[in-house]
Amino acid sequence: MSERRKRVSLVGAPTDIGAGMRGASMGPEALRVAGIHAALAARVAEVEDRGNLGGPGNPWQKPVSGYRHLPEVVSWNLLAFEALHDVLAAGRLPVLLGGDHCLGIGSIRAAMRHCRETGKHLRVLWLDAHADFNTPAITPSGNLHGMPLACLCGMGPTELVHLAGEPGRLPIEALRLIGVRSVDEGERRLVHESRLEVFDMRFIDEWGMRHTMEQALSGIDENTHLHVSFDVDFLDPDLAPGVGTTVPGGPTYREAQLCMEMIADTGLLGSLDIVELNPALDERNRSALVVVDLVESLFGKSTLMRMG
């Protein structure tokens, strides 16, 4: 579907329940202040803001059996799952305003259910400095924002692996990780054993963003539902300092823009997460502004001298 005909729903999830640092809970409002509504309204047929989900507060506790805040993480993900599936079922494109990246479980579960109901094929692009593929046995911290992909692929606590009693798991083949440059030791082994398709920064350096995205998008067709999970730490910290887990050596502004433009060119974007923006660490909301700018590219704003 052309971007111009898409109808978008913003859903805020103001929580840092899965993070190792407080502040991502302020992300949704920072994105609104940076003008995400108007930016999208200029690109698509219609935008509505469904406001914020209201989940539990952050008790800031130590890990229990390898996880920090598991019951609260489950609550937030159930809320996200229900809200985002409602949006998809209404024929709209959900944009999750996070919140930390543990919310990717509920968000992608919603996309999986939608694909099951509509016969679509799901492709997930996970834009991130990290692999987010930890399990309780190997996590150094117990923070669940480092585990969402492992949970989605069937490794983790049952209440997250089968969130809301949902069957099945995300097939590894549906996943592409882009921008990775920081992986924990045990996680690295698991990523290799699981044959996860990872386009790390070394790959992007050597092959360029264009070839990277061609590879990451290969095999999709008009029946594909493209889900983009955009962790703001994907970007180089020079560009977006407002995240809790900055890692140097990320994509530049132009590389990130090309990445977004090539996704837009497919016309297949079906759902989007924007996560890990931490206004407490930002400088005058500049990371939020960069993110909004990149989201415009993701919805078809071209910097090139092209028609349309």
Task: List residues with catalytic annotation.
Answer: 101, 128, 130, 132, 145, 231, 233, 276
In the complex with Mn ion, which residue's Cβ is closer, 134 or 300?
134
Q: Tell me the closest approach of the beta carbon of residue 102 to Mn ion, in angstroms.
A: 9
* DSSP three-state, residue 175: strand
Q: Shortest Cβ distance from residue 265 to Mn ion (Å)? A: 25
DSSP one-letter string for 110-136: HHHHHHHHHTPEEEEEEE-SB-----T
Q: Which two tokens stand for residue 196?
A: 């996860």
Backbone torsions φ then ψ of 95, nearest 5 degrees: -120, 110
Q: Coil, strand or helix: which one is 177?
A: strand
In the complex, minimum distance from the CB of residue 280 to Mn ion, in angstroms, rounded to a whole number? 18
Site of interaction with Mn ion (CB under 5 A)? 101, 128, 132, 231
Q: Which is nearer to Mn ion, 179 or 300 (CB)?
A: 179
- The SS3 call for residue 47 is strand
Give the nearest distance from C-beta 100 to Mn ion in angstroms: 8
**Given the complex with Mn ion, which of 47 and 110 has the nearer CB atom?**
110
State which residue, 128 or 296, has the beta carbon closest to Mn ion.
Answer: 128
Closest CA to 296 of 39, 19, 34, 30: 39
Output DSSP code: residue 277.
Answer: B
Query: What does the alpha-carbon distance between residue 249 and residue 236 come to, in Å, rounded to a whole number?
Result: 6
> Which pair of tokens denotes residue 18?
């899965």
Closer residue to Mn ion in complex, CB, 234/299: 234
Is there a contact between 44 and 8 (Cβ–Cβ < 8 Å)?
A: yes
Report the nearest approach of Mn ion to the CB of residue 281 (Å): 15
